[in-house]
Amino acid sequence: MIFYLLRRALYAIPIALAVGFVCFMLVQIAPGDPINAIVPPDAPGDVVEQVRRDYGLDKPLPVQFGLWLLKVVQGDLGRSLATGRSVWSDLSTAIGNTLMLAVCASIVGFVVGCTLGGLAGTFRGSVLDRLATGIAVAGVSVPHYWLGMVMVVIFSVQLNWLPAMGAGPGGSSDWAWDWEHFQFLVLPTITLSVIPTGIVTRTVRGIVAEIMNQEFVVALRGKGLTRGQVFLHVVKNAAPNALAVIGLQLGYLMGGSILVETVFSWPGTGLLLNSAIFQRDLPVLQGTILVLAMFFVALNLVVDLVQAALDPRIKRA
């Protein structure tokens, strides 16, 4: 067990390094001289040369990667071309907003998905099962940015119940957990939650159906346990996998919220990425991608470790 955990934790290190290398290469594959990602295009020639030397851009690529990595580890992600502020200062507030949205969407997706999937798996072949399966397929095939627009059309334009965009009065810096602010979170959360809902429903349905077919469930029933007690045993067996799925979904949502954030002008990493793309602000693009990808690597590790701790069957494997 301890060896598995250690080996898994150690394996995260080369992965994190390689992910860092891919992010480093993003600026290299961008058309044009990478120096253009650091200095504005109208800078005089000698300044460009000075910066080139300061940043080590005249050195070979592996050395450049080492220098870049050293800075990143110290928390220096460079400066934005558009604003001149350090990338981290904009990114830190944006990450908080994206995390809030992604966590809310994951909770909704987990609760709805487990309920639908659990019911569908227990009553296989029923109308309920077909409904849940239909919702699951629709959830993973719907372009969520379009669903967001449809939500805005229905709930903001037609019914005028909820605000269409933004993060409330005073923007993201002035967030509070009251209705005045919370109403801005409702539509983005529902929109973002359709994907995890679909995936969790599908997974939980499969797990529950498989467990229900196993002999120990028949044995439990034979022992005279009530339905509720049997159900608890099923939950105990299904929980590690379901938690692993939703844990990874949180990471996918963090990275994938760019489209939903664009639709709702939610001030998170997605909106930051979007403006960075438009202004060709490569340091911001690189920094945001790096932090989100590292978050995903860390989350993957945590999910694996937690799953191993919860599920005694993994020890033997």
Partner 1 sequence: MSTAAEAELAIQAKVAVAKGQGYWAGVFKRVRRDPVTIVCATILLVMFLAILFAPLLAPHDPYQGSMIRRLRGLGTLNYPLGTDELGRDMVTRLLFGGRLSWFMGIVPVVLAFIIGTTLGVTAGYMGGKVNMAIMRTTDVFYAFPSVLLAVAISGALGAGIVNAILALTLVFIPQIIRVAETVTQGVRNLDFVDAARSSGASGFTIVRVHVLGNVLGPIFVYATNLISVCMILASGLSFLGLGTKPPEPEWGLMLNTLRTAIYVQPWVAVLPGACIFITSICFNLLSDGLRQAMDVKG
Residues in contact with partner 1 by CB under 8 A are 14-15, 18-19, 22-23, 26-27, 29-31, 137-138, 140-143, 145-147, 149-150, 152-153, 157-158, 251-252, 254-256, 258-259, 262-263, 273-274, 276-278, 280, 282, 285, 289, 292-293, 296-297, 300
Q: Where do the DSSP E strands lie in 220-285?
A: none
**Residue 32 Cβ, how far from partner 1 at the closest point, in Å?**
9
Q: Which is nearer to partner 1, 220 or 258 (CB)?
A: 258
Q: Which is nearer to partner 1, 6 or 153 (CB)?
A: 153
**Residue 274 Cβ, how far from partner 1 at the closest point, in Å?**
6
**Residue 223 Cβ, how far from partner 1 at the closest point, in Å?**
33
What is the C-alpha to C-alpha distance for residues 177 and 153, in angstroms, rounded to an integer?
Answer: 25
**Residue 5 Cβ, how far from partner 1 at the closest point, in Å?**
18
What is the C-alpha to C-alpha distance for residues 217 and 187, in angstroms, rounded to an integer?
Answer: 40
**Residue 130 Cβ, how far from partner 1 at the closest point, in Å?**
10
Q: Any long-range contacts for 5-12 (C-beta under 8 Å, 24+ apart)?
A: 5/305, 5/308, 5/309, 8/301, 8/304, 8/305, 8/308, 9/301, 9/305, 12/297, 12/298, 12/300, 12/301
Place of tokens 């990595």: 69
**Residue 226 Cβ, how far from partner 1 at the closest point, in Å?**
35
Q: Which is nearer to partner 1, 1 or 153 (CB)?
A: 153
What is the C-alpha to C-alpha distance for residues 204 and 176, in angstroms, rounded to an integer?
Answer: 34
Q: Which is nearer to partner 1, 167 or 293 (CB)?
A: 293
The 3-state DSSP class for residue 267 equals: coil
The 3-state DSSP class for residue 38 equals: coil
Q: Which is nearer to partner 1, 185 or 272 (CB)?
A: 272
Q: Which is nearer to partner 1, 81 or 220 (CB)?
A: 81
Closest CA to 291 of 15, 97, 87: 87
Q: Across the strands, what pairs with 79?
A: 86
